[in-house]
A and B are shown apart, each in its own frame.
Chain A
Amino acid sequence: MAFRPRLHVVVFLAPAVLVYTAVMIWPLFNTLRLSLYTAGEGGRAFAGLANFATLFGDPRWSAAFWNALGNNLWFFVVHMAVQNPIGIALAAILSQPRLRFAALYRSAIFIPTILSFVIVGFAWKLILSPIWGIAPGMLDAVGLKALFAPWLGREEYALTTLALISVWQFVGIPMMLIYAALLSIPEEILEAGEVDGITGRAAFFRIKLPLILPAIGIISILTFVGNFNAFDLIYAAQGALAGPNFATDILGTFLYRTFFGFQLQLGDPHMGAAIASAMFAIILAGVCLYLFAIQSRMRRYQF
């Protein structure tokens, strides 16, 4: 064949590339561009880095920004420290050979993950509510009623409580991914360890854990990206004001309030774009750190 028409390649690629470019990539860069403008008298005016100067320089804006960023970091820390270890532990238990009902447990534990944030947020709000009294009632049953507090209403507990609710919801994802990684470890390796006398807990920490490190890396970066553009759970449980007194404000809710306005404050798309750009920089930095510093150094084993 001397000549092959290549039109079909274009036809196959065009719809995906067009939609993806027009609705995702172009708006992404346009948002970064808009962060350099302000709304002037006769429309939009180029303002250089003025929005960022306001965001980081103006005491009110910068206090709100650092508060949201700090809360977001804590949100992420709770996920890394609680969600992933529980997920790994559940996966390790589930992957025991010949465990009965494994499929049933797996499906049941994954159910919270499929529910929407609206359902999860409101359901927990009701359960933790002092008015309904399920949580205090249950603590009372085990003699710990003194521990109860309206956790979602207290500044010092609210963020951690929401982070734990989110952990409850998403523990299924690390569980599934680690479970898949554990199943892919060949039996011969474990048997070789057994011959050398490495069994039980030692086998997990010295043989399996090093082998599933790449999967743990993937889970960490997924958690990072997910946490730093989270919004729905806080909005559903605490509203756009992320109360009490902004104690649960994270970057997503801060962006929403700034961009869309709330109560008496008008929305400001350009300041919103500036916050979105900051979020973009944070997520990009995290992803790059993962790709270049962690993933490339991680040893991968071929079976």
Chain B
Amino acid sequence: MNRARQSPLNTLAAHAALITWTAVALFPVTVIVVNSLKTRKAIFREPLALPSPESFSLIGYRTVMKQGDFLQYFQNSMIVTVASLALILLFGAMAAFALSEYRFRGNTLMGLYLALGIMIPIRIGTVAILELMVQTGLVNTLAALILVYTAQGLPLAVFILSEFMRQVSDDLKNAGRIDGLSEYTIFFKLVLPLVRPAMATVAVFNMIPIWNDLWFPLILAPGEATKTLTLGSQVFIGQFVTDWNAVLSALSLAILPVLALYVIFSRQLIRGITSGAVK
């Protein structure tokens, strides 16, 4: 059928180009993780070599575990990410249902209002957000971060979820109404399970920016007890600039959780992007 577009030479060139860029993309990560497992001497003498029995060392990881409170940071990041995602999904789905299901005055206007935040970054309002958090006593609490990330994630969540909810069959909902189900039951028991794939897409889209954000933890919750993993590793590395073993190990420890999440969710993420959810 499309033989004209596929000569073996073309295929070879395609693979060569893709392998080159894949190498460029993976090289820095590999160098960091590999060298974190070596002694200081081996790091400098042969930075591109794999750790051998003589050069293998976990000293960097020991320093990190002793000095930094990485478990605490990791826990904070988990709490913030999971709580924000839960609120984005719950509130976003509820609002999306209201916008797509009911006709009421101001429906379109409300949709536009909620969509404003897709293009305008929330960081612009940081000065007043900090003031708000100071007034409400939420500075240096994880709740401040959760609120900010929820607000940041809602616009796109409402937009994507309402697109999907329009496709849920009216007959199903009306059958529920005839059976005497309340609107709440229809939403939670009938509609939500049907849009689960879209919810997963929204969750994956929001997860990575929230986990990786440096700006709001730095400004709203820089205290030791509320540091997220991103901020914690930034501060830690800043303090240990000259201890290469520790820096490389801290970087590797920061890479691993994200990489694990990616391996679990990459299918969902890529399907979400390529299914045109970002249009």
Contacts and interface: CB of A to CB of B under 8 A. Distances in A.
Interface of A: 6, 8-9, 11-13, 15-17, 19-20, 22-28, 30-31, 34, 86, 89-90, 93-94, 96-101, 103, 105-120, 122-124, 126-127, 132-134, 137-138, 168, 171, 176-177, 179-180, 183-184, 187, 190-191, 194, 199-200, 203, 218, 221, 225, 229, 231-232, 235-236, 252, 255-256, 259-260, 269, 272-273, 276, 279-280, 283-284, 287
Contact of B2 (A13, A111, A137, A190): A190
Contacts of A256: 215
A184 B276 contact: yes
A122 B251 contact: yes
Main secondary structure of the interface of A (DSSP, over half): helix
Most buried by A among B119, B132, B213, B251: B119
Interface residues of B, number: 98
A31 B278 contact: no
A97 to B, nearest CB: 6
B5 A203 contact: yes
Contacts of B6: 96-98
Nearest to A279: B124
Given A108-B26, A119-B255, A19 B87 contact: yes
B4 interface: yes
Given A105-B18, A108-B26, A9 B266 contact: no
Main secondary structure of the interface of B (DSSP, over half): helix
A84 B132 CA distance: 38
B233 to A, nearest CB: 6
Interface string B3-28: 01110001100110111011011101
Contact of B255 (A15, A115, A126, A171): A115
Given A6-B104, A13-B110, A31 B124 contact: yes
B188 to A, nearest CB: 11
A26 B219 CA distance: 18
Given A115-B212, A199-B5, A28 B32 contact: no
A115 B213 CA distance: 10
B147 interface: yes
A284 B117 CA distance: 12
B214 A236 contact: yes
